[in-house]
Amino acid sequence: MAEVTEKKWYVIRAVSGQEAKIKDYIHSEINRMGYGDAVEDLLVPTEKVVQIRNGKKINKERTYFPGYIMIKANLTGEIPHIIKSVTNVIGFLGETKGGDPVPLRTSEVNRMLGKVDELALSTEHVAIPFTVGENVKVIDGPFNGFTGSIEKVNEEKRKLEVMVKIFGRKTPLELSYMQVEKL
């Protein structure tokens, strides 16, 4: 009977870009070895990012801490060795050579997980990245490639009125934030 100790959060260092794959692999390895109950949570902190591609909004998840996987577990006995033996796992954050993995302090965990929750909540409310008078380039829509200056910013509708020179005449265009980028 293994002694029951409190599960703590640790950070596994892994090859960047492979986090989700490595996470799944660690999960299946630990379960395969019969230690599934020692691990409470395994997650890759991500944030939602909206990108525009060909005029379509694409929601993508971006890894918030590239190269890090968070694990809440009772890391005793064989478990750290199982995790370290997984391909593309570098080791644990904060461990000394040959020492035990160092758990995160509660404040650090709250900060990392709090950031994740905060990001989940704030996806729709993005600060207005534009100001009146600023020059922007249209990156989407029929006026793609034109440049102009911002005349008005409409926060509620998330639209901009951009004055663009078309055939030598200034023409106002109503564009969404996603259709322009700063020059």
Res 123: pLDDT? 47
Res 98: pLDDT? 67
Whether 8-121 shares its CATH topology with 135-182 is answered no
Round the average pLDDT of the chain to a whole number and report it.
84
Residue scoring higher pLDDT (57 or 90): 90
- Could you tell me the residue ranges of all domains in the chain? 8-121, 135-182
CATH number for region 135-182: 2.30.30.30
Q: Could you tell me the CA-to-CA distances from 65 to 62, 147, 150 in Å, in that order?
A: 9, 35, 35
Q: Model pTM greater than 0.85? A: no
Domain spanning 8-121: CATH superfamily: NusG, N-terminal domain (3.30.70.940)
- Tokens representing 109 are 């965990």
Alpha helices per DSSP H over the chain:
19-32, 79-84, 106-121
